[in-house]
Amino acid sequence: MSNQINSNYSRDSNKLLIVVLALSVLMAAITVDMVTPVLDMIGTDLGGSEAQVSWVVSGVALVLAIAIPFYGRLSDFWEVKKLFTIGILILSIGSLICALAPSLSILVFGRMVQGAGMASIPVLSVVVISKIYPPGQRGGILGIIAGCIGIGTAGGPIFGGIIGQWLGWNSLFWIVFSLGLLIAIGAQISMQKVIPTDSEEPKIFDILGGILLGLTVGLLLLGITLADTYGFGSYPTIVSLTISLSTFIALIIRTATAKQPFIPPILLKNRLYLNSVLIAFFSMFAYFSILVFVPLLVVEVNEMTPGGAGMILLPGGAAVAILSPVVGKLSDRVKPKILLIAGLIVMGISTLFMSLFAGYQPIFISIGVLGIGVSFALINSPANNIAVTALSKEQVGVGMGLFQGALYLGAGAGAALIGALLSVRREFMSALNPFYVLNAPHYSDIFLAVTCITVIALIITFSLRNQKS
């Protein structure tokens, strides 16, 4: 059956579809970290240690990293409209559980249910766009999606802080619950049926391969998170990382021996696609680390309020929102590699600038965050465009599931590993950056580490073969 858009599919339906996808991605991005400013309120109301309360955030990241590739692979078997709607409804159910949660454990469970539904949104949005819009029109739509991700990621803490302080933390989940129902209705009205592509042989869903991938990614992220709390030498960390390595080896064997493995071997031979996945991982590692640790810096060192700290992120979010649609359209007309190189250079300069001025006037950090926002706008939609273009129609579902999973794995790994580095370097009186002379050397060090991660992504980008999407 054909995946292509029906010729009678109206322009009004197209516009509504874009609105539905943009709103859903915006909601998902906000939902991930909207609770960060109200964790103290949650701890006071429901009890629990700081480490236990942190699972209100890390539990979502863990489930997202596991579930996103599953939704991508399922889109090769199920009709996407139904799958997307089911995901939104699961998110709404999780939000309802969170809003009514009488204890911290129920709240964490509800957040994980949210993550299980939320995981459908980023990957299925890209799958729908890639199968409905031709290559010359995808970039602009992907740019809108990227802009919404940027707004939501940067605006989530601001939204959570203001609404949570005004109406209470439960109100955040009632809002997401209501929006979820609205989006589910909008999807039913606007989304055309996208039928999985027929193949010459019957399709087999590799459940074992999917479980092995989920265990590998989930335990890796869990191990990194535990290392941030207890140290890399702790027993829980070692056990988690060891099992993750074991399941990864089993996944390799399964991929090599199964008739239709969860990860098609042809993807592993697609160098352009693999490089786009690595670029996505490292760039999100850097971007999300900045979003997490800049507020901590200005609260701890500059003694700003949590609300003021959230506003420091506003220039970056505004830059992503304004530039992403423009960059997305550009990626349809110029080589995405050029945009990626420009974005990673801007990101490297911005993080190095922040390494030099960490602890100085917050306006300087805000300038760095603005540069990070510009860079993310230059990176995100071109990387998506390259990945989609590198895949055949039959590979888009699983390929973009793995791609989007790499984004969230990068975000989770970045926050945890940079957090561990911050803890280790906190006791040192001098910075690794020889030009740093201020009073926050540990923050200078983590921004320098993020610069190094950006350089790795830039090296990979230079290795991309020239291509015009």
> What's the domain range around 277?
11-205+262-462
More confident residue, 456 or 204: 456
pLDDT band at 8 (very low <50, low <70, confident <90, very high): very low
- Residue 467 predicted with pLDDT over 50: no
Residues 245 and 351 in one domain: no
More confident residue, 75 or 112: 112
Is residue 469 situated within a structural domain?
no
Residues 40 and 151 in one domain: yes
Mean pLDDT computed over 158-175: 86
Is residue 167 situated within a structural domain?
yes
Domain-ending residue, one of 197, 230, 261: 261
Mean pLDDT computed over 59-88: 86
Contacts 24+ apart (CB under 8 A), 165-172: 165/37, 165/38, 165/307, 168/41, 169/35, 169/38, 169/41, 169/42, 169/45, 170/98, 170/99, 170/100, 172/34, 172/35, 172/38
Residues 245 and 385 in one domain: no
Mean pLDDT computed over 118-146: 80
Domain-ending residue, one of 261, 284, 308: 261
Mean pLDDT computed over 230-239: 85
Residues 187 and 216 in one domain: no
Mean pLDDT computed over 407-427: 82
Predicted local distance difference test score (pLDDT) of residue 194? 65
Buried b vs exposed e over 246-273: b needs ≥16 C-beta within 10 Å?
ebbebbeebbeeeeebbbbeebeebeeb
Predicted local distance difference test score (pLDDT) of residue 344? 96
- Residue 183 predicted with pLDDT over 90: yes
Residues 33 and 107 in one domain: yes
Is residue 4 situated within a structural domain?
no
- Residue 141 predicted with pLDDT over 90: no
Predicted local distance difference test score (pLDDT) of residue 290? 87
pLDDT band at 13 (very low <50, low <70, confident <90, very high): low
Predicted local distance difference test score (pLDDT) of residue 110? 94
Residues 236 and 140 in one domain: no
For tokens 């129920």, the residue is 106
Residues 354 and 279 in one domain: yes
- Residue 12 predicted with pLDDT over 80: no
Predicted local distance difference test score (pLDDT) of residue 196? 63
Q: What is the pLDDT of residues 260-316, one digit of tens each?
A: 888 888 888 899 999 999 999 999 899 888 877 887 788 788 887 766 776 787 888
Residues 56 and 176 in one domain: yes
Residues 142 and 240 in one domain: no
Predicted local distance difference test score (pLDDT) of residue 235? 87
Is residue 369 situated within a structural domain?
yes
pLDDT band at 163 (very low <50, low <70, confident <90, very high): confident
Is residue 81 situated within a structural domain?
yes
Is residue 1 situated within a structural domain?
no
% residues pLDDT > 90 (the chain): 30
- Residue 140 predicted with pLDDT over 80: no
- Enter the pTM of the model: 0.80
Residues 148 and 221 in one domain: no
Number of domains in the chain: 2
- Residue 55 predicted with pLDDT over 50: yes
Domain-ending residue, one of 245, 261, 277: 261
pLDDT band at 182 (very low <50, low <70, confident <90, very high): very high
CATH number, position 39: 1.20.1250.20
Is residue 110 situated within a structural domain?
yes
Predicted local distance difference test score (pLDDT) of residue 107? 93
Please give the mean pLDDT across all residues of the chain. Answer: 84
Residues 122 and 226 in one domain: no
Is residue 3 situated within a structural domain?
no
Residues 196 and 227 in one domain: no
Predicted local distance difference test score (pLDDT) of residue 451? 96
Least-confidence region, from 28-37, 111-120, 234-243, 370-379: 28-37
CB atoms within 10 A of CB 195: 14
